[in-house]
Amino acid sequence: MVRTVRNIIRFYVDGFRGMSRVGRTLWIIIIVKLFIMFAVLKVFFFPDFMAGKNPEERSHHVMQELIAR
Protein backbone atom coordinates (compact mmCIF):
# COMPACT_ATOMS: atom_id res chain seq x y z
CA MET A 1 0.00 0.00 0.00
CA VAL A 2 2.70 2.50 1.01
CA ARG A 3 4.80 1.47 -1.96
CA THR A 4 1.90 2.06 -4.34
CA VAL A 5 1.29 5.55 -2.91
CA ARG A 6 4.99 6.36 -3.26
CA ASN A 7 4.95 5.20 -6.88
CA ILE A 8 1.93 7.36 -7.64
CA ILE A 9 3.50 10.41 -6.00
CA ARG A 10 6.79 9.80 -7.81
CA PHE A 11 4.89 9.49 -11.11
CA TYR A 12 3.28 12.92 -10.71
CA VAL A 13 6.42 14.61 -9.38
CA ASP A 14 8.46 13.32 -12.30
CA GLY A 15 5.73 14.39 -14.70
CA PHE A 16 5.63 17.95 -13.35
CA ARG A 17 9.41 18.11 -13.26
CA GLY A 18 9.67 17.12 -16.91
CA MET A 19 6.93 19.47 -18.03
CA SER A 20 7.62 22.20 -20.56
CA ARG A 21 7.25 25.89 -19.79
CA VAL A 22 3.88 25.99 -21.55
CA GLY A 23 2.60 23.07 -19.50
CA ARG A 24 3.60 24.69 -16.23
CA THR A 25 1.96 27.95 -17.29
CA LEU A 26 -1.26 26.13 -18.10
CA TRP A 27 -1.26 24.38 -14.70
CA ILE A 28 -0.72 27.71 -12.96
CA ILE A 29 -3.70 29.15 -14.85
CA ILE A 30 -5.83 26.15 -13.86
CA ILE A 31 -4.87 26.47 -10.19
CA VAL A 32 -5.59 30.21 -10.16
CA LYS A 33 -8.99 29.67 -11.80
CA LEU A 34 -9.90 26.97 -9.26
CA PHE A 35 -8.87 29.25 -6.41
CA ILE A 36 -11.04 32.04 -7.80
CA MET A 37 -14.01 29.72 -8.30
CA PHE A 38 -13.93 28.07 -4.90
CA ALA A 39 -12.55 30.77 -2.61
CA VAL A 40 -13.52 34.15 -4.02
CA LEU A 41 -16.87 33.41 -5.66
CA LYS A 42 -18.08 31.37 -2.69
CA VAL A 43 -17.53 34.27 -0.33
CA PHE A 44 -19.37 36.83 -2.46
CA PHE A 45 -22.12 34.86 -4.19
CA PHE A 46 -22.93 32.00 -1.82
CA PRO A 47 -23.48 33.41 1.67
CA ASP A 48 -23.94 31.01 4.59
CA PHE A 49 -27.60 31.39 5.55
CA MET A 50 -27.26 28.80 8.31
CA ALA A 51 -24.46 30.52 10.24
CA GLY A 52 -25.33 31.16 13.85
CA LYS A 53 -28.64 29.29 13.80
CA ASN A 54 -29.62 26.46 16.10
CA PRO A 55 -30.93 23.17 14.65
CA GLU A 56 -34.57 24.22 15.01
CA GLU A 57 -34.01 27.46 13.10
CA ARG A 58 -32.06 25.57 10.44
CA SER A 59 -34.85 23.07 9.91
CA HIS A 60 -37.41 25.88 9.71
CA HIS A 61 -35.31 27.72 7.11
CA VAL A 62 -34.92 24.57 4.99
CA MET A 63 -38.63 23.85 5.22
CA GLN A 64 -39.52 27.39 4.14
CA GLU A 65 -37.13 27.23 1.19
CA LEU A 66 -38.51 23.88 0.03
CA ILE A 67 -42.12 25.00 0.33
CA ALA A 68 -41.47 28.32 -1.45
CA ARG A 69 -40.06 26.53 -4.48
Most distant CA pair in the chain, distance: 55
Q: For residue 5, tell me if it sits in a domain.
A: no
Q: For residue 12, tell me if it sits in a domain.
A: no
Tell me the pTM: 0.52
Range of the domain at 63: 22-69
Alpha carbon dihedral 42, 22, 17, 7, in 10-degree steps, equals 60
Q: For residue 15, tell me if it sits in a domain.
A: no
DSSP string for residues in 9-41: HHHHHHHHHT--HHHHHHHHHHHHHHHIIIIIH
Total of domains in the chain? 1
pLDDT at 33: 94
The CA distance from 46 to 28, in Å, is: 25
pLDDT at 10: 95
Q: For residue 51, tell me if it sits in a domain.
A: yes
Q: For residue 3, tell me if it sits in a domain.
A: no
Q: For residue 30, tell me if it sits in a domain.
A: yes
Q: For residue 49, tell me if it sits in a domain.
A: yes
pLDDT at 50: 83
* Per-residue confidence in pLDDT tens, the chain, 69 aa: 899 999 999 998 898 888 888 998 998 999 999 999 888 888 888 878 788 889 999 999 889 989 976
